[in-house]
Structure 1
Amino acid sequence: MKTDRQLQEDILNELDWEPSVDASRIGVEVSQGVATLSGHVDSYTQKWAAERAAQRVAGIKSVAMDIDVVLPGPHKRDDTEIAKAAADAIDWNVSIPKDTVKLVVEDGWVTLSGDAEWAFIRNAAEASVRHLYGVKGVVNKISIRPRIEPRGVKTKIEAALYRRAHLDAAAITVGVDKGTVTLTGEVDSLAERNTVEWAAWSAPGVQKVVDNLVVA
């Protein structure tokens, strides 16, 4: 088992390896496997990428983000400009059905709402606005309301997990109650946990995923 110091060094190295992140502006502390990232970055994209980099490190149980987005002068936008750009970005994304997503912008924070049939639509909406100039953060409140009834969800999710060679699918238990999927078991990293959760969301008819997975 890695010590907190080793985990800290691993995250710092992973941040340094990530080309979209200015690692020199980010500090890392680790206590009992919980990582806290602090500092200032120029965009929400960098903050998001830094979080994903920390999650990729095996042994990290959770990540707390204490990073502020401080936009440089040329990248500052008022809320009206951000709202227009965000609406256009969503409208131009072929993965998002028309009139599915509503958005509100306040002090650079974009809040998304609406109903979608699939989780990938909700993720596509967030990805569309994440990289826009002026955005400080994204709150995704889009609900999943599939039109089809969930059938054979447990079998489909388990098959998807077994197709992923880097996962120990036997260590993961999938429970299904109507449209709610509950995941239990152990995974090696937060990145692996995200992969399992995404596999569950990818099954047709899933409305909610309860993630009880533990990072071993």
Structure 2
Amino acid sequence: MRPAPGGAAWGFQFARHPMDDKALQEAVAQAVERLSDGAPVAASVAGGVVTLTGAVQDEMRRTVIEQELLRLPEVLDVRNHLHVAAPVGDLRTQLRILLETHDVDAGGIVIEEADGALTLSGTATGWFDRDAAERLAWTLPGVASVTNRIVLPPGAVEPDDGSAGLPS
């Protein structure tokens, strides 16, 4: 739970004048305009609770807007109804290009896409390529979710097996 505005949770109060909903609505609108990067995002305020609607380009932007609004002193809660906009172009092709650009060996990786949801499967040459494929997939505009089912070849070193890649 978020601490009460003004420091009351820590036993002291700042002398301040609370904003009314109109002033808070203006502060929220300015923050949303700055953070949304031109995406069609609407925000309404009632009793210190902000409700967001509209579409953003990726999950990161959706989360950043919510977290930054929670930093405003009079915002008590954010109801985030933003959705990730449909992708522009073929996400599979975009991800293949991105993997190649970052020198990820993706020859054995299969990419499936449905409505912005990516599923990665197949076999990666090593842990780095498996992890990088998922991380890079999340960076694409229009990606709403990523499921990583990529497996490693027999004998591949798992990052938490303690061997650090050294023979037994």
Instruction: Give the TM-score category using the shorter length.
Output: 0.5 to 0.7
Correspondence 1:89-108 to 2 at 5 A: 89-91=31-33, 93=34, 96-97=37-38, 100-108=40-48
- Residues 132 and 79 of structure 1: CA distance in aligned 2, closer, same or farther (over 3 Å): same
The answer to whether the Cα contact below 8 Å between 2:43 and 2:53 also exists between their aligned partners in 1 is: yes
TM-fit CA distance, 1:130 = 2.4
TM-score by length of 2: 0.53
The answer to whether the Cα contact below 8 Å between 1:95 and 1:124 also exists between their aligned partners in 2 is: no
- Residues 73 and 140 of structure 1: CA distance in aligned 2, closer, same or farther (over 3 Å): farther
The answer to whether the Cα contact below 8 Å between 2:36 and 2:56 also exists between their aligned partners in 1 is: no
Q: Tell me the amino acid that sits aligned with residue 113 of structure 2.
A: D
Q: Partner of 1:176 in structure 2?
A: 112
Structure 1 residue 140 and structure 2 residue 80: aligned? yes
Gaps of 5+ in 2: 122-132, 150-159, 161-168
1:76 to 18, 43, 51: 18
- Residues 82 and 94 of structure 1: CA distance in aligned 2, closer, same or farther (over 3 Å): closer
Per the alignment, in what secondary structure is the counterpart of residue 24 of structure 2?
helix
Correspondence 1:1-216 to 2 at 5 A: 41-43=3-5, 74=16, 76-91=18-33, 93=34, 96-97=37-38, 100-145=40-85, 146-152=87-93, 155=96, 176-178=112-114, 179-182=116-119, 199-206=136-143, 208-209=144-145
- Which structure has the bigger radius of gyration? 2
Q: CA RMSD in A?
A: 4.2
**Structure with a larger share of its residues in helix:** 1
TM-score by length of 1: 0.43
Aligned length: 129
Instruction: State how far apart, in whole Å, the 2-side matches of 1:159 and 1:74 are.
Output: 54
Gaps of 5+ in 1: 1-37, 47-66, 164-172, 185-195
Instruction: State how far apart, in whole Å, the 1-side matches of 2:14 and 2:120 are.
Output: 42
